């Protein structure tokens, strides 16, 4: 069975601070995909990034960066110079390859509040 753990339930920062959201996953499959989604108050899950298990290269997109480490089964997400608009619930998710039909297993989510 797959499992995703986001140990931080809530994080509160002041604008312009850097913040890292932790994600630890469990799976026995060797082929899997990791995702981060952002859920603003409107409710829509906004796709941020997908990472394949065979690609450990870290990625940066503007103020967002992701650190994927298979050795520790972690896929952490860092927001640099946070802004009020970053306030949302962030979910890490795992999908295994093969015949999983694309079913995602989500973590509990981390509520990020950025204060002005």
Minimum separation from the CB atom of position 24 to another protein (A): 14
Query: Does the footprint of another protein cover residue 107 (CB under 8 A)?
Result: yes
Distance of CA 7 to the CA centre of its chain: 12
Of 18, 34, 6, 9, residue with least CA distance to 86 = 18
Q: Which token pair is 46?
A: 């906004």
- Stretch 87-106: interaction string toward another protein, x if CB under 8 A: ----x-x-x-----xxxxxx
Residues 111 and 11 sit within 8 Å (Cβ to Cβ) = yes
Give the pair of three-digit tokens for residue 49: 């990034």
C-alpha 34: how far from chain center:
8
Site string for another protein, 36-75 (x = CB under 8 A): -x----xxxxxx--x-x-----------------------
CB of 33 to another protein, least distance (A): 5
Q: Give contact residues for another protein (rule: CB under 8 A).
A: 4, 33, 35, 37, 42-47, 50, 52, 91, 93, 95, 101-109
């Amino acid at each position: 069975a797959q499992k995703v753990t986001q140990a931080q339930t809530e994080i509160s920062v002041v604008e312009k601070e850097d913040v890292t959201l932790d994600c630890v996953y469990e799976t026995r499959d060797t082929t899997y995909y990791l995702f981060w989604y952002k859920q603003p108050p409107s409710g829509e899950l906004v796709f941020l990034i997908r990472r394949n298990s065979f690609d450990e290269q870290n990625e940066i997109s503007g103020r967002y960066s992701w650190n994927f480490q298979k050795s520790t089964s972690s896929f952490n997400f860092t927001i640099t110079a946070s802004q009020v608009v970053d306030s949302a619930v962030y979910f890490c998710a795992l999908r295994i390859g093969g015949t999983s039909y694309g079913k995602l297993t989500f973590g509990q989510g981390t509520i990020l509040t950025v204060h002005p």
